[in-house]
Amino acid sequence: MANIDLSHHLSAEARLRKPTAMKEIWRLASRKPNMVSLANGDPPNTLYPIKKVLFEIASPWGDDPVAAWKTEGSNTATQVISATRDGPSVLPVKKAMQYTNGAGHVETQKAVSELAHAYHHPPNHVITLTLGNGDAVTKCFRLFGNPGDHFLADEFTFSALVQAAIPQGIKWVPVRMDDGGMLPEQLEKIMVNWDATRGPRPHVLYTIPCGQNPTGSTLSVERRRKIYELAQRFDLIIIEDDPYYFLQFPSNSAADTTFTPSFLSMDVDERVVRVDSFSKVIAPGTRLGWITSSAQFHEQLVALTDASSQHPHAFGQMFLSELLGPEGWQLPGFDKWVRGLGMEYKRRCDFFLDLFAKEVATTGLAEAIAPEAGMFVWTRIHISKHPRYRKSIASSEEVKVPRTNCKQLMEELFDTCLDEGLVVMPASIFKVDSDAQYGDPEDNIEDRLNYFRLTYCGTEEIMTTGLSTLGRALKRFFAD
């Protein structure tokens, strides 16, 4: 257990949650060996109509396995992993498909735990299987959020999850970012200057540290250390949502990636709840990821899972157990594959940035902020160059409203792109709204919406057409 008791962070709902009464019966039942049970209402596994589940997967062992897989597709070497009814499999069908508790099968937990430890060496944490990061992060919101609580987030972030917390009564406090992500000094400013009339001071920080969605920024180790120190000083829980961790770029064309140390890896207090995903490594439909947290928060997460989504699906647990097992990739193969993915995303990103330099930057109207991980290029539009750009539109009485027409012009530019046949993601989609009366009058986020989130996930053809369209749309709009 942690040296520090962090149980005061738990929500009222989490505190009220009790283990199911049936568990007590199982505990009593295990006090003697060879008990006969007429108690458990599980379908007999002899009636499961499944004899075998087999997956044919890519081989991670070539020189550049992801490039080979992508290019040659079905002609590349594959390997077969499978779970059979009675085994020998890491997780035989008849075991995998039973009821378990919210933590899932120990075999899958063990495999995923070894993977987490290999990358993060967390001091004293345990694994909880999840149904992917949406499930995981919203469960954390239920675990820590009371109505009226304030949570901190990157000022631009994955809005679907931030919005998910609002009906629960959580209020968001955006933290100012620059091209390197969240600014520790801005976080400190918010905490030091917190006005108690707003309600309780924020006690949870939600952040995406690598290849952030939407800005593509990756927090440096120095910033992470500063933010962690602030979390210690102000008693914050950090929800580290890191789906792009394994998509960090190598520094050159070889698979030489140095993975940036996670918040989890520096978490001596057990105040980090780290959320990991296979969605970008395997595929989004996997819907199986994991949380790494203190044992106490793990127990709470399992109780919440028992009381909602129940245990993770067996198909995914069989897949992961075999993928990371002796017939599958194991850890070295997994590492080969994710480093290959890093190379692939870097190649895509380089292709995108080269095109951007030719097709867009040459207009002088926009600039791409090069990422070090993930899928996104945060693209700054030089909106102040627009002939209709206006500053200080607000009267001095209305200091908390925007001071420019940035928002309106960006909406027009978005429409111009659509007219030209191009869809982009406007920054406005990702902004975290703070309580209007507490906004910084000198720094209204609506004056800084001059960004598009662009992606290099598409084909080269899409990138080529897309970026030349963007150049054309910019020129047309700014000529207005």
Residues 166-195, interacting with a second copy (CB under 8 A) = 166-168
Q: Across-strand partners of 206?
A: 153, 239
Q: Are 227 and 205 in contact (CB under 8 A)?
A: yes
Considering only residues 93 to 112 of the shown chain, the ones binding a second copy according to CB under 8 A are 96-99
145 is an interface residue for a second copy by CB under 8 A? no
Position among 186, 201, 425, 475 found at the interface with a second copy (CB under 8 A): 425
Q: What letters, b where the CB count within 10 A reaches 16 and e where it falls short, cover 212-251?
A: bbbbbbbbeeebbebbbebbeebebbbbbbbbbbbbbbbe
Minimal CA–CA distance to 151: which of 199, 184, 193? 199
Phi, then psi, of 114 in degrees rounded to 5: -60, -40
32 is an interface residue for a second copy by CB under 8 A? yes
Phi, then psi, of 442 in degrees rounded to 5: -80, -5
CB nearer to a second copy: give 39 or 221.
Answer: 39
Considering only residues 50 to 79 of the shown chain, the ones binding a second copy according to CB under 8 A are 50-58, 60, 66, 69-70, 73-74, 78
Position among 6, 13, 110, 370 found at the interface with a second copy (CB under 8 A): 13
The CB-of-16 to a second copy minimum distance in angstroms stands at 4
Position among 138, 186, 265, 296 found at the interface with a second copy (CB under 8 A): 138
The CB-of-134 to a second copy minimum distance in angstroms stands at 4
CA dist 277 and 136 (Å) reads 9
What residue has token string 């996670």?
262
Q: Are 387 and 262 in contact (CB under 8 A)?
A: no
Position among 421, 441, 443, 480 found at the interface with a second copy (CB under 8 A): 421
CA dist 95 and 310 (Å) reads 16
Scanning 25-33, 120-128, 178-186, 387-395 for contacts with a second copy by CB under 8 A, the matching segment is 25-33
88 is an interface residue for a second copy by CB under 8 A? no
Position among 17, 117, 347, 382 found at the interface with a second copy (CB under 8 A): 17
The CB-of-112 to a second copy minimum distance in angstroms stands at 16
Considering only residues 219 to 278 of the shown chain, the ones binding a second copy according to CB under 8 A are none
Scanning 112-120, 129-137, 178-186, 382-390 for contacts with a second copy by CB under 8 A, the matching segment is 129-137
* Assigned token pair, 90: 């890491």
CB nearer to a second copy: give 183 or 463.
Answer: 463
43 is an interface residue for a second copy by CB under 8 A? yes
469 is an interface residue for a second copy by CB under 8 A? yes
CB nearer to a second copy: give 19 or 261.
Answer: 19
Q: Which is it for strands 150-154 and 204-207: parallel, antiparallel or unpaired?
A: parallel
Q: Are 340 and 60 in contact (CB under 8 A)?
A: yes
Q: What letters, b where the CB count within 10 A reaches 16 and e where it falls short, cover 142-178?
A: bbbbbeebbbbbbbbbbbebbeebeeeebbbbbbbbe
164 is an interface residue for a second copy by CB under 8 A? yes
The CB-of-70 to a second copy minimum distance in angstroms stands at 5
282 is an interface residue for a second copy by CB under 8 A? yes
> CA–CA distance from 293 to each of 6, 221, 262, 282, 287 (Å)?
12, 20, 13, 23, 19
Considering only residues 302 to 361 of the shown chain, the ones binding a second copy according to CB under 8 A are 306-317, 319, 337, 341, 344
Position among 286, 293, 300, 404 found at the interface with a second copy (CB under 8 A): 286
The CB-of-395 to a second copy minimum distance in angstroms stands at 29
The CB-of-365 to a second copy minimum distance in angstroms stands at 16
The CB-of-77 to a second copy minimum distance in angstroms stands at 11
The CB-of-104 to a second copy minimum distance in angstroms stands at 10
Residue type, 288: L
CA dist 53 and 136 (Å) reads 27
CB nearer to a second copy: give 231 or 273.
Answer: 273
CA dist 291 and 356 (Å) reads 37
Size of the site for a second copy (CB under 8 A): 116
455 is an interface residue for a second copy by CB under 8 A? yes
Position among 126, 406, 454, 474 found at the interface with a second copy (CB under 8 A): 454
Q: Is 91 left (phi over 0), alpha (psi -120 to 50) or beta?
A: beta
* Assigned token pair, 221: 């180790």
Q: Which is it for strands 177-178 and 451-455: parallel, antiparallel or unpaired?
A: unpaired
38 is an interface residue for a second copy by CB under 8 A? yes
Radius of gyration of the chain (CA): 25
How many residues are present in the chain?
A: 480
CB nearer to a second copy: give 155 or 344.
Answer: 344
* Maximum C-alpha span of the chain: 83
41 is an interface residue for a second copy by CB under 8 A? yes
Position among 1, 18, 195, 397 found at the interface with a second copy (CB under 8 A): 18
Scanning 159-167, 200-208, 218-226, 251-259 for contacts with a second copy by CB under 8 A, the matching segment is 159-167
